[in-house]
Amino acid sequence: MSVEQAPVQRADFDQVMVPNYSPAAFIPVRGEGSRVWDQSGRELIDFAGGIAVNALGHCHPALVKALTEQANTLWHVSNVFTNEPALRLAHKLVDATFAERAFFCNSGAEANEAAFKLARRVAHDRFGPEKHEIIATVNSFHGRTLFTVSVGGQPKYSDGFGPKITGISHVPYNDLEALKAQISDKTCAVVIEPIQGESGVVPADKAYLEGARKLCDEHNALLIFDEVQTGVGRTGSLYAYQHYGVTPDILTSAKSLGGGFPIGAMLTTSELAKHLAVGTHGTTYGGNPLACAVACAVLDVVNTPQTLAGIKAKHERFKVRLEQLGQETGLFTLVRGVGLLIGCVLSDAWKGKAKDILNAAEKEGVMVLQAGPDVVRFAPSLVVEDADIDEGLARFERAVRKLTQG
């Protein structure tokens, strides 16, 4: 016998939820592919992808099947035991990357927390407690735990929560000379996003990543790539480090890895992994059978030549239309990014107004993102249909023209 659910509306958020979010005025209730429907039955095209999370769109049949089968088999056993989906997922990731070992958790922040702890532990064990300093980049974003906001290069996220974790410094992104000036024998790790996502979709220069790799080797420091947003096909390579041809010591992954189901992973080598011996780090839900079963299905779809080539082709389809729109309206000065992580940099006249453009797009039935106040971001499904790209961009164009023409 089913129990009727009590009706809820957007106004309920303001009554019962902690006010740390400011969600849109509508509530999505159903999704299929790259389409979403709200409570009123209105249909929108989704170019936001749950902030680069819904790698295969909404309710992809392979993910629904994997989750349903696992839900009828085994939900949770804790890390007192291992489980088959976790082992299968670890094998898939090890086989497809530089890594030899995987650690599973529930989010990008937790994956980065594990990476930073591992880096400090390795340095402590090999060189002593003085080698603990971490270098990150200005405007970087690595999560919301106290450690990860301290490493992240945006004080607005770390100020006001008491003393920050020490031993962390920040240098300008894509500035190899600044990194060279900062790194020392006390540095245990350098942390870089191959593409800075939250601060504007800014890709790294290949020479910058190559230089960072060389500097880390010279100073016995570990190179960590935060691929929470760029990983699992987002750039048209399974991971962005493969796009650049620069291999890190530690890589973090989340977002697209679960296609919408919460999961994170830290990938590294056997030689480094041994420093997290039994009892040094842990998680209650990490490696959960449900999450790992879904992530296996995600990788089976994404990590194919057909899907990865399609991502690169879809990038061009977006870029051509967006560049043309920017030239015709004066709204954008630059369209940048790799694969299906795309940022449109607003012109001087529109700086600070990314949220206005998001709101205008929603009224025309298309969901997009911002990456800071000056960049409109697109992070759609990696298998978005060309017809949905064309229709979504037509809606976005209508929104932009209404804004720019007054």
Q: Tell me which residues are annotated as active site.
A: 141, 226, 255
226 belongs to an annotated ligand binding site:
yes
| Residues 145, 395: Cα–Cα separation, whole Å | 37
Note whether 173 and 167 are within 8 A (CB): no
Residue type, 274: K
225 belongs to an annotated ligand binding site:
no
| Segments in 176-304 forming alpha helices (H) | 176-182, 206-218, 240-244, 270-273, 289-302
48 belongs to an annotated ligand binding site:
no
144 belongs to an annotated ligand binding site:
yes
249 belongs to an annotated ligand binding site:
no
177 belongs to an annotated ligand binding site:
no
| Residues 155, 164: Cα–Cα separation, whole Å | 10
Note whether 93 and 257 are within 8 A (CB): no
196 belongs to an annotated ligand binding site:
no
Q: Which residues contact 382 (CB under 8 A, 6 or more apart)?
A: 55, 56, 233, 234, 256, 302, 307, 310, 311, 314, 340
| Residues 399, 406: Cα–Cα separation, whole Å | 11
| Residues 404, 330: Cα–Cα separation, whole Å | 8
Note whether 331 and 347 are within 8 A (CB): yes
Radius of gyration from C-alpha coordinates of the chain: 21
Q: Are strands 133-137 and 187-192 parallel, antiparallel or unpaired?
A: parallel
108 belongs to an annotated ligand binding site:
yes
Note whether 219 and 181 are within 8 A (CB): no
Candidates 365, 357, 359, 311; CA nearest to 337 is 311
Q: How many CB atoms lie within 10 A of CB 216?
A: 22
Q: How many CB atoms lie within 10 A of CB 406?
A: 4
What residue numbers does the annotated binding site for N(2)-acetyl-L-ornithine cover?
A: 144, 283
What residue numbers does the annotated binding site cover?
A: 108-109, 141, 144, 226-229, 283-284
What residue numbers does the annotated binding site for pyridoxal 5'-phosphate cover?
A: 108-109, 141, 226-229, 284
